[in-house]
Chain A
C-alpha cells in the first residue's frame, strides 16, 4: 500500500471488554511504532518493534496492554479489560530504520470506552 493503514478507524466498546487494533505498515519498513494520543495532547510513545521483536516497550502503561508483530509486518495492539481512561486515538507509524529515517504515521484508531 501507499501508506500506513490502521483498522478500524473507530472503535466503541464497553468498560471491561477486550479490543484489538491493527496496523499495516509501509511495505519493507522494519521498524513499527505505537503511540497514544489523548484529547488535546501530543502523542505518547507506547512500544516499538524492530522486525518481530519489541525493541522498547517502556511506554506501555500496564499489563493490560500488549502488542505483537509475529511476522515482522502487521502489528496488533491488544487491550484487555478496557477502562474509560483508555479512550484515545491510537497512532501507528513505520520507518525503514532508525536515526534520521522518517516515521510515517497512519490515520489512527479512535477508541472510545463507554
Chain B
C-alpha cells in the first residue's frame, strides 16, 4: 500500500526567508503524481504545485519549487521569499496515475513571523 509521511508537524519561517517542508512516500508503482496542497483555516484545500513522476525536472510555480528525488522517494517543497499569507497547513499527497484517490501525509503547520 502507498503511504505518505511528513515528519515535521510544525515549521516556522521569518517573512522574506526561505523554508523547506519535507515529504517521503512509499510506492511500488513507477507512474504517479505528487502534489503539495495548502489548507488555510478556511479549510479550503488549494493546490500549490504538482510533479509527474516521469519528469526528471523539478516543478516550479513562482515562489514554490520542489526537490523530487525519485530513487529516494522524497518530495520536498521550498517556499522562497515567504509571505504572511503562506501561513497554513501544508499537505503532501500521492496519486497513482491510473487511480483517482489522493493519499495524504499528516501535514505540516507553517507559521510565518513578521
Contacts and interface: CB of A to CB of B under 8 A. Distances in A.
A16 to B, nearest CB: 27
Given A100-B33, A105-B45, A107-B43, A42 B104 contact: yes
Given A100-B33, A105-B44, A43 B97 contact: no
B87 to A, nearest CB: 17
Interface string A38-72: 00111111001010000110010000000000000
Interface of B: 4, 6, 33, 42-47, 50, 52, 91, 93, 97-107
Contacts of B99: 56, 98
Contacts of B101: 33, 45, 48, 56, 59
B104 A43 contact: yes
A50 B100 contact: yes
A60 B11 CA distance: 32
A55 B101 CA distance: 10
A103 B52 contact: no
